[in-house]
Structures are given as C-alpha cells and as structure tokens.
C-alpha cells in the first residue's frame, strides 16, 4: 500500500542538512565576512545530522514509497561520510586563509555534496540512486575547479566534469535498460524479478544494464579501468578538496555499490562477481605499480586511493556478512589514515612557493621537523599495511573473507600488491630520514589541525587495543547483517 504521509524520521539527517545548506547560503550572501561563521555552522550542522542519523537510523525502515531505506549499514556509512565532510571543512579553514581563497561557497558546496552522499547510501531505487549521485557530482565538479584563477584547478574541474558527465550518462542508460527489461526501478521489485528469472534466464538487456550501472559506479570510486580522472583531479584541485575527494565520495559510492549488488542483484552474483574481481585486481596492480613512478605527493595519493579501492572491493566480492564487515572496517581505517596524511600535506608550506607537493621537498624532514616526519611515517606505514598498525588490520579483514570463500589466487594477488605498494610508501620515509635536508618550510600551527593529526595517529597506533577497535568491529558486524538480511 502506498504511504500517504512518508515516515520522515529516518530522513531527518538529510532534511536537516538540506535546510542547513540553504541557511548557510543566505548567511553567506547577506552577512559580510561570514566565511568563518559559515564554516563552523556547517560543521555544527553536520554534527546535528550525525546525531539524528544515530538516533533514527537504526532498525530497517523504508520511506518515500520505498525510494529511501535506513538500516544499520546506511547508519554506519553515513557516520563515516559526515565525519569526513566535517573534518574537510575544519581542515580547509587555515588553508584558504593562507591561499587568499577564503569564500563561503566552499562549506556550502561541501554540505550539498554530503546530502547527495547520504541519499546515495540510503538509495533503495534506481531513481534515488541517480538523484543522490547527481547532487553529489554537481557539487564536486565546482569544488574541483574552486580556484578559478588557477589553470591547474580549472583543468581538474573540467576533466572531472566531462568524464563525470559521461559516466553519469552510462549509468543512466544502464538504469533505463534495467527498467525496460525488468519493469521496475525499485530494488526489492528487481530482486523479486531476478529471483523469478533465475540466474541463467536473465534477459540480456538487463545484464547489459547492470554492467553499465557497474561502470558508472566504478567511475565514482575511481576503480580501474574508470580511474583516468583521478591523478589529474587530485593534483589540480586544492588540497582540502583532494582530501575530501579521497574519502567521503568513495565511502558513499562503495556503500551504494554494495547495496546495488547485494539487494536487487544478489542472486546474480555469478554474473557480476567476475566484473568486480577484474576491477579489484586491476585497481590493486595499477595502484601499486603506477604510484612507484610518481614524484608529486598528491598524485601518489591518487594512485594510492585507486589501490585501496581494489582492496575494499574484496569485501564486496566475498559476498558474505564477513566480507561486508571487512569493507566497513577498511573504509573506517582508510578515512583516518587519509585525513591524517592530508593534514600533514596541508601543514607544509614554503614562504614564497606555496604548498609543499613534491616528494623531494621532504628531504631531511626527520632533522628539520622530527614530529611532522614521525606523523607522516605512521600514516605511510599504516597505508602500506605494516603490522601492528591499523592499516594491516584493514587489509586482514578484507582478505580473510575471500580466502574463506575459496578465492586463493585473488588473495595472493592482494598480498603481492600490498608488498609492491609498501615500496612507494616506505620510499617517502627513506627520503625524510636518509636524504640530505633541503630548505626548511613553514609549519602551520593551526590548533584544530594539530588535534586532527594527533588523534588520527593515536587511533592508527592503538587500533590493536580492544578498547579502540571493538566499537568499530562490533558496529560493522551489526551493520553488515542489516544489509545481508534484505
């Protein structure tokens, strides 16, 4: 029966954040010198949205004629998205003041992108899936080109826009094929139809549609072979934008990919598993080998993110509760490692040349700025997956489920890719401690940045302690069961 009055409770977070974005826009327009106020209000609004998500997001509820779903899985992923977005706003404050680009539109666009990501995570229909992706994407296109007078930034925005529009078109065409051959856009109805057809009897058009949808989502997570935009956009965008790109959109898109494959197309796992395995293997290999040749830190982080997406996809390939749990644990640890590393990148600045972006400029950092070098070393070793740091456990929790499912070759590739990837992370540590020092840079002394980087480093080191890891592990277990039970 169609609901007359939708249950708004489960969407309170999205509704509040949408109203908040419009409020911020009005404050920015009508109040002079309001950038600081708008930024901290944005952080506050995200905090309230997070509280609303925690309060009303549990259980399993549908609203807006089944377009929108809230369960443990959506709750967990939305918390990650909101935390990443709030930290991106806080990190951006000092950066934009020094760059002279302090404009109130940045936090507003970031809030709008966050609303889109929350809709993506809760999408239970091809229409809400597309709506969430577009709301996120349109905001991110502008953020990529935020520095209008920079050739690199405008080039990054244009590349992202053109390729993003192409991927959105492919995804929308896939949605139309699925609707044409199955007769519904709702995930539950599609699941019923797929079950009735049986895996071997699915219409070819619906399978092609699924491949197109997978291609569109692969672009959003920058999985190979849809990764081409990532290095250029990461390098060209301003560093706070790159930090946001590296975490929040990937969390949202991976959550959407997991729900799309598990709920409507769960019984077609034999068909889509091969495609996802290819994307995972190709991403791990390319991410590991291409990063070796990079000299720019942000480009290196771009290829690093491609490699990490390959590892995260292992959790989806497993097709089990443990696999999904591994995916959520991986993205939680990935968020902490990346945010911490990007804070370090933003904290290094030359007096005249702006941000430090070249790896060679880190030479002798261990002597000039020992504390900064120690923080970067922690993040690099964790990204490489060196035990007993959190990055090791992230990979452990996605590799074990695929071993249990008999994907031994895939697990071997993952381990080898991790070994190769360790080279380029540890190379940065070698440059900092064993190369001759170069000219010192100014270290930024923003108090919020110090707090973020210190807490990130402590969490990575202390993840082995049950007091730190248990909330994440237990929360991920409950959330994974919520999605698998659909």
pLDDT digit string (tens) for 151-188? 888 888 898 999 999 999 999 999 999 999 988 889 88
Q: Are 459 and 390 in contact (CB under 8 A)?
A: yes
Residue 1's pLDDT is what?
Answer: 43
User: 48 has which bridge partners?
Assistant: none
Residue 445's pLDDT is what?
Answer: 67
What sign for the dihedral angle of Cα 333, 60, 193, 219?
negative
Residue 88's pLDDT is what?
Answer: 92
DSSP letter assigned to residue 4: S
Residue 4's pLDDT is what?
Answer: 59
Name residues of the chain where pLDDT drops below 50.
1
User: 355 has which bridge partners?
Assistant: 349
- Residues 33 and 422: their CA atoms lie apart, in Å, by 45
Q: Are 18 and 49 in contact (CB under 8 A)?
A: no
Query: Which residues, at least 6 apart from 169, have a Cβ–Cβ distance to it below 8 Å?
Result: none
Query: Which residues, at least 6 apart from 85, have a Cβ–Cβ distance to it below 8 Å?
Result: 46, 110, 111, 113, 114, 117, 244, 248
Q: Are 394 and 333 in contact (CB under 8 A)?
A: yes
* Number of continuous H segments (helices) and E segments (strands) in the chain: 19, 5
**3-class state of residue 78 by DSSP:** helix
Q: Are 121 and 252 in contact (CB under 8 A)?
A: yes
Residue % of the chain over a pLDDT of 70: 95
Query: Which residues, at least 6 apart from 8, have a Cβ–Cβ distance to it below 8 Å?
Result: 15, 63
Question: Which tokens hold the place of 275?
Answer: 């495609």
* Per-residue pLDDT reduced to its tens digit, 3-55: 556 778 888 889 999 999 999 999 988 887 788 899 899 999 999 999 999 88
Query: Which residues, at least 6 apart from 148, have a Cβ–Cβ distance to it below 8 Å?
Result: 154
Buried b (16+ CB within 10 A) or exposed e, 329-346: bbbbbbbbbbbbbbbbbb
In which element (H, E) is residue 350 found?
Answer: strand 348-350
Residue 465's pLDDT is what?
Answer: 87
Backbone φ and ψ for 443, nearest 5 degrees, come out as -95, 125
Residue 2's pLDDT is what?
Answer: 52
């Amino acid at each position: 029966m169609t609901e007359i009055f939708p249950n708004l409770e489960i969407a309170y977070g999205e509704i509040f954040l949408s109203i908040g974005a419009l409020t911020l826009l009005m404050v920015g327009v009508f109040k002079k010198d309001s950038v600081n106020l708008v930024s901290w209000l944005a952080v506050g609004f995200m905090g309230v949205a997070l509280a609303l998500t925690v309060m009303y997001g549990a259980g399993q509820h549908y609203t807006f004629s089944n377009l929108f779903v809230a369960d443990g899985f959506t709750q967990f992923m939305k918390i990650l998205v909101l935390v990443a977005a709030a930290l991106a706003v806080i990190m951006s404050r000092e950066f934009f003041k020094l760059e002279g680009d302090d404009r109130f539109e940045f936090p507003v666009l970031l809030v709008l992108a966050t609303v889109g990501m929350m809709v993506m995570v809760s999408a239970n229909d091809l229409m809400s899936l597309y709506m969430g992706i577009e709301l996120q994407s349109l905001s991110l296109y502008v953020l990529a080109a935020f520095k209008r007078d920079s050739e690199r930034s405008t080039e990054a925005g244009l590349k992202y826009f053109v390729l993003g529009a192409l991927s959105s078109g492919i995804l929308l065409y896939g949605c139309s094929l699925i609707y044409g051959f199955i007769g519904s856009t709702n995930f539950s109805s599609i699941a019923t139809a797929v079950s009735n057809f049986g895996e071997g009897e699915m219409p070819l058009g619906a399978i092609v549609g699924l491949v197109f949808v997978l291609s569109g989502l692969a672009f959003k997570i920058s999985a190979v072979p849809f990764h081409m935009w990532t290095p250029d956009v990461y390098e060209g965008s301003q560093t706070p934008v790159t930090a946001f790109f590296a975490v929040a959109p990937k969390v949202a898109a991976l959550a959407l990919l997991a729900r799309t494959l598990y709920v409507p197309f769960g019984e077609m796992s034999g068909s889509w598993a091969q495609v996802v395995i290819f994307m995972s293997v190709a991403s791990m290999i390319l991410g590991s080998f291409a990063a070796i040749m990079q000299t720019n830190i942000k480009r290196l982080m771009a290829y690093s993110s491609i490699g990490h997406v390959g590892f995260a996809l292992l959790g989806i390939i497993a097709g089990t509760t443990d696999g999904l749990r591994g995916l959520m644990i991986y993205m939680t640890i990935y968020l902490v490692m990346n945010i911490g590393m990007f804070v370090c990148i933003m904290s290094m600045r030359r007096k005249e040349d702006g941000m430090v972006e070249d790896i060679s400029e880190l030479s002798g950092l261990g002597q000039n700025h020992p504390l900064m070098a120690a923080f970067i070393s922690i993040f690099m070793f964790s990204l490489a997956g060196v035990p007993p740091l959190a990055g090791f456990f992230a990979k452990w929790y996605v590799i074990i489920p695929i071993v249990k499912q008999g994907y031994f070759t895939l697990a071997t590739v993952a381990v080898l890719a991790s070994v190769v990837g360790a080279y380029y992370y540890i190379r940065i540590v070698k440059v900092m401690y064993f190369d001759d020092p170069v000219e010192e840079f100014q270290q930024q002394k923003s108090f919020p940045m110090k707090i973020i980087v210190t807490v990130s480093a402590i969490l990575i080191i202390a993840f082995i302690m049950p007091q730190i890891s248990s909330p994440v592990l237990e929360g991920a277990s409950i959330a994974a069961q919520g999605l698998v039970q659909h």
